[in-house]
Amino acid sequence: MSVFDAVTILVGIVVGIGIFRTPSLVAGNVDTEFAFLAVWLAGGIVTLIGALCYAELAAAHPHAGGEYHFLSRAYGRPVAMLFGWARGSVIQTGAIAAVAFVFGDYAAQVLPLGPHGVAIYAAVAVVAVTGLNVVGTLQSKRLQIAVTFLELGCIAAIILAALLWSGDAPPVTQATAPSAGALGLAMIFVLLTYGGWNEAAYLSGELRDAPRNVPRVLLIGTAVLVSIYLLANAALLSILGLEGLRQSNAVAADMMRAVAGESGALIVSIAIIAAALSTLNATIFTGARVYFAMARDMTLLPQVGEWDPRGRTPANGLILQGAVALALVALGSASRDGFQTMVDYTAPVFWGFLLLVGAALMVLRWREPDRRLPFRVPFYPVTPLLFCAGCLYMLHASVAYTGLGALIGVAAVAAGAPLLLFRRPRDEDGPASVLPSHTSSRAISPVID
């Protein structure tokens, strides 16, 4: 791949439906318009630092297992298996439920179903998309490309609408000092929206002249992402204002309603519903492979590790994943904001394992000093230490300043510890059994972004 190819893929991975939901949550945790935009810029800097660390790991230890492989080499297979359990029980299923709630928020703008309409839409979406995957109906490459352009088109419409807006500017919020807890929560939502950059690090294996071009891809890609998010959020802020953002559960629809009336809100809502369904399908498709892979490595629940030859899918893994996701939808429906509850549920687990991956870079350099490194993270060890410090802060914030969902997520991971007693013996370099070539699932990040 060329630098242009890789930057395009990076932007396509990261830009998703999160930008249509998280701005209201970020606005609720900052006190000024300047702080609102500043946290989005800070999120881009953290993204770049993390991507540089992942680029070295992926180039030095290329493997379809991704973080599972990094953690296994650095800390041993039990830690890697616990990560696999966390991904299947918290990270990926929490992402599925969160995306389903975004779908519900915008579907309720088109056809309201009452006070529990968002949760009803979310549950129906999980059941329907899981069912399609069980029978083997998968989204095509062309559909994915079309939906990516649809998402970018919605963002472009938001930016253009702000440029053409001739109404009165919203009042400026009185400046006050934000609390540390509020800023921590704001960064959780911002970095959730930037999520997906860690998958882009895997492009190093297919990038032309990777040692020279990986930094270019990461720098250019991050600059593009920061520009898109800053422009989109500045546009939302210029029309809805900070207080308007705080009160909105569907910021794109509310903004277009202010600019173009109900017809504008309806059009953008339908576009985001389509994008949410596509993201939900991709998240369900990749997530079930974790259940399949884990079951192949354990003596427990062997049926989950069976491959359905009719639909060419891990059908039992899909069904189990769907059941867990529905339970999380039920958990979210009992709260004031289902999407935020799912973020609370996944955040501490996500940042805990991301911290371990960041530290693995230094552990592997120490344990394997003679290994050839096609790409070296600049300013070592300052860069990985900064990344680990950021992860540690985010882990603290996601435990100290979130709700009950965070504790439930941590408890779910702890409940998986006994599964280590059921792991199959296997050799040093590979799993106990071979997976189909297209089943690898390698991202720690949920595809909510």
For the ranges 52-66, 198-212, 387-401, which has the lowest average pLDDT?
Answer: 198-212
Q: Is the pLDDT of residue 205 over 70?
A: no
Is pLDDT larger for residue 184 or for residue 341? 341
Average pLDDT, integer, range 90-98: 88
Is pLDDT larger for residue 163 or for residue 182? 163
CB 7 within 8 A of CB 220: yes
Q: Determine the pLDDT at residue 428.
A: 41
Q: Determine the pLDDT at residue 430.
A: 40
Q: Determine the pLDDT at residue 295.
A: 62
CB 391 within 8 A of CB 351: yes
Domains along the chain? 3-422 (1.20.1740.10)
pLDDT band at 39 (very low <50, low <70, confident <90, very high): very high
Average pLDDT, integer, range 370-381: 87
Q: Determine the pLDDT at residue 122.
A: 93
Share of the chain above pLDDT 70, in %: 77
pLDDT band at 434 (very low <50, low <70, confident <90, very high): very low
Phi-psi region of 66 (alpha: psi -120 to 50; beta: other; left: phi over 0): left
pLDDT band at 2 (very low <50, low <70, confident <90, very high): confident
What is the reported pTM? 0.76
Average pLDDT, integer, range 70-88: 86
pLDDT in tens, 390-418: 999 889 888 887 777 788 889 999 988 88
CA atoms within 13 A on the CB side of 211: 6
Q: Is the pLDDT of residue 235 over 50?
A: yes
For the ranges 144-158, 317-331, 363-377, which has the lowest average pLDDT?
Answer: 144-158
CA distance 187 to 30: 10
The dihedral built from the CA positions of residue 362, 357, 81 and 404, taken in this order, carries a sign that is positive
Is pLDDT larger for residue 18 or for residue 314? 18
Average pLDDT, the chain: 79
Query: Both tokens of residue 429?
Result: 């370099």
Query: Both tokens of residue 434?
Result: 């071979």
Q: Determine the pLDDT at residue 195.
A: 80
Q: Is the pLDDT of residue 102 over 50?
A: yes
Q: Is the pLDDT of residue 443 over 60?
A: no
Q: Determine the pLDDT at residue 120.
A: 93
pLDDT in tens, 344-357: 899 899 999 999 99
Q: Is the pLDDT of residue 78 over 70?
A: yes
CA distance 39 to 187: 6
pLDDT band at 300 (very low <50, low <70, confident <90, very high): low
pLDDT in tens, 269-280: 888 888 787 778
CB 291 within 8 A of CB 439: no
Residue 308 phi, psi (nearest 5): -85, 110
